Amino acid sequence: METEPRIVAFLCNWCSYAGADLAGTSRISYPPNVRPIRVMCSGRVDPAFVLNALEMGADGVLVTGCHPGDCHYVSGNLKAEKRMKSTGELLRRLGLRPERLRLEWVSTSEGARFAQIVTDFTKILGEVEPNPLSAGNNAVAILNAEQTVTEALARTNVRYCLECGKCSGSCPISKVKDSYSPRRIVERFLLGFRDRMLSSPDLWNCLTCLTCTERCPSDVRYPEFVKACRRVASKEQMEELCAHKGVTTALSRILTNPSLKQERMDWLPEGAGTSPKGELLYFVGCLPYFDVIFEDFNLKLLNIARSVVGILNKAGIRPVVLDDERCCGHDLLWTGDVENFERLAKMNVAEIRKAGAKRVVTACPECYRTLKKDYAETVSNLDFEVVHISELLSELIDDGKIEYDIDLQRKVVYQDPCRLGRHMNVYEPPRKVIAEIPGIELVEMGRNRENAVCCGVNAWLSCNKYSKAVQLDRLAEAKATGADLLVTACPKCQIHWKCVMSEKLPVRPEDVTIEMRDLTVLAAEAMHSA
């Protein structure tokens, strides 16, 4: 039978909520399927709220606030307007339909208007198909903590810890949070303080940058250990430390729903050459979504995708680009949600196979690691090769398939993203791609390659004063090289650094602000018609 669409409504305390009250006191009736939530201001409504509501199966989300100019908090409602617009766009690209989100202005005196809005909204929602998502949708793991930890202790060599403290001396977080020490966390696990550890925030502070693993004489793979423990660790800690209210992980979870029809291709420029099937597949990653979520940073992240396709076309390659590509699941994996990760993995692998690709190229180090390493572990006999764009490009350069024809007079410093560097040992190809560009002087930071320092945040966890400190330190190091352009091969580095740069800084801005560019974008800049 036809079920009533379920609506979650966020009402601002000063106008809309009162308006709703008035509707009641005036005995104006409206559909009962709305579930009002009072917030002080419509500006309080975060895109994450919207996504979470939908993820839990709401068919529509109604956000109401004061009329422009009436906002009790001056301009909260205008912020809400901007935010809801982009959230709507997010829903569109997700294939969840923008109609499910509605923003309206309702004043104290507009009881009738409120009732009308709810009635209309219900009607509209009745016409679109019901929300494919539902609370039962997400996979939940039932795990034995004891067993998981013990298994992890063995698998990741943690038991061989010699307590030498080299990890703490290497860890970017320990350096700014002197009480944080991987080996001490390990020691506690070894001494059997399991529950205490699983409920402590320490587990979520790890950047999983692998610096400690790189240097640990006892071959203790701490980040792997942390990854395993996060599966059974208390999630409250995680939620507290989660950046952006977890909008991105929500996004990833939503994408595990097979029936979604995404709208993610419209970034492709006119005349860009792609093919539905073929040898080479370009795995775009979350760029279309980040493009929306972080539009304020104005990083134009989709230019990375455009550059990739551009360069490949220039080399005479028409890559496959999947219109139903899903999130690679990296963040879910590293926050302990292995089950939903596996779903994504299977869906992506299936799509890639369908396209008949023998080779998958990614421009994102996280996708790169995840596809190449973690998919291989989840999905048996991965029958395609995964390469990073930098590897492909240096290959094309060697084969003379592409060449730079624009002289860029720039002094460039390169950041090794953790996932590309320490995780996958790709150090030289990106440097080659940069160094080959005419007119470019490539300089190094003191700590480079396996000693490079993380951009400060991973899997959108614990973005706090400590990660900020790490970021500022790294930016200062880059700046100190005298370079005028900081190139990275990871879109997330750019997001995190841009974020810290656009904040109120505890240091002289000129010491830490530097122009950034993605490796591929830089490469494209050096080629006509790419």
Mention every residue, 6+ apart, whose C-beta is less than 8 A from residue 2. none
Residue 167 lies near another protein (rule: CB under 8 A): yes
Q: Which letter does DSSP use for residue 356 in this model?
A: T
Q: At what angle do helices 145-155 and 182-190 cross, to 10 degrees?
A: 120
* In the complex, least distance from residue 345 CB atom to another protein, rounded to whole angstroms: 29
Query: How many whole angstroms separate alpha carbon 134 and alpha carbon 431?
Result: 46
Give me 50's structure tokens: 């919207």
Q: How many CB atoms lie within 10 A of CB 400?
A: 8
Give me 442's structure tokens: 């490539």
Residue type, 176: V
Q: For residues 99 and 450, which CB has a smaller minimum distance to another protein in the complex? A: 450
Give me 403's structure tokens: 């060449």
Binding-residue total with another protein (CB under 8 A): 40
**CA-closest candidate to residue 55, choices 299, 260, 336:** 260
Give me 449's structure tokens: 């390659």
Residue 278 lies near another protein (rule: CB under 8 A): no
Residue 443 lies near another protein (rule: CB under 8 A): no
Query: How many whole angstroms separate alpha carbon 282 and alpha carbon 258?
Result: 21
How far is CA 417 from its chain centroid? 15
From 30-38, 171-179, 284-292, 515-523, give the range in contact with another protein by CB under 8 A.
171-179
* In the complex, least distance from residue 157 CB atom to another protein, rounded to whole angstroms: 7
Q: For residues 391 and 477, which CB has a smaller minimum distance to another protein in the complex? A: 477
Helix ranges (H only) for 335-378 are: 338-354, 365-369, 376-378
Residue 141 lies near another protein (rule: CB under 8 A): no
* In the complex, least distance from residue 485 CB atom to another protein, rounded to whole angstroms: 20
* In the complex, least distance from residue 191 CB atom to another protein, rounded to whole angstroms: 6
* In the complex, least distance from residue 469 CB atom to another protein, rounded to whole angstroms: 13
* In the complex, least distance from residue 476 CB atom to another protein, rounded to whole angstroms: 13
Q: For residues 115 and 212, which CB has a smaller minimum distance to another protein in the complex? A: 212
User: What are the start-end ranges of the E strands in 89-245?
Assistant: 101-105
* In the complex, least distance from residue 160 CB atom to another protein, rounded to whole angstroms: 6
Report the site for another protein in 177-196 (rule: CB under 8 A): 178-181, 183-184, 187-188, 190-192
Residue type, 506: P
Residue 428 lies near another protein (rule: CB under 8 A): no
Query: How many whole angstroms separate alpha carbon 187 and alpha carbon 164?
Result: 11
From 5-13, 317-325, 435-443, 448-456, give the range in contact with another protein by CB under 8 A.
448-456
Report the site for another protein in 199-238 (rule: CB under 8 A): 211-212, 214-219
Q: Which letter does DSSP use for residue 10 in this model?
A: E
Residue 175 lies near another protein (rule: CB under 8 A): yes
**CA-closest candidate to residue 44, choices 19, 18, 65, 25:** 65
Residue 168 lies near another protein (rule: CB under 8 A): yes
Report the site for another protein in 146-165 (rule: CB under 8 A): 157, 159-165
**CA-closest candidate to residue 433, choices 510, 488, 365:** 488
Strand-pair partners of 411: 441
Residue 482 lies near another protein (rule: CB under 8 A): no
* In the complex, least distance from residue 512 CB atom to another protein, rounded to whole angstroms: 18
Which positions lie near another protein, rule CB under 8 A?
157, 159-171, 174-175, 178-181, 183-184, 187-188, 190-192, 211-212, 214-219, 446-447, 449-451
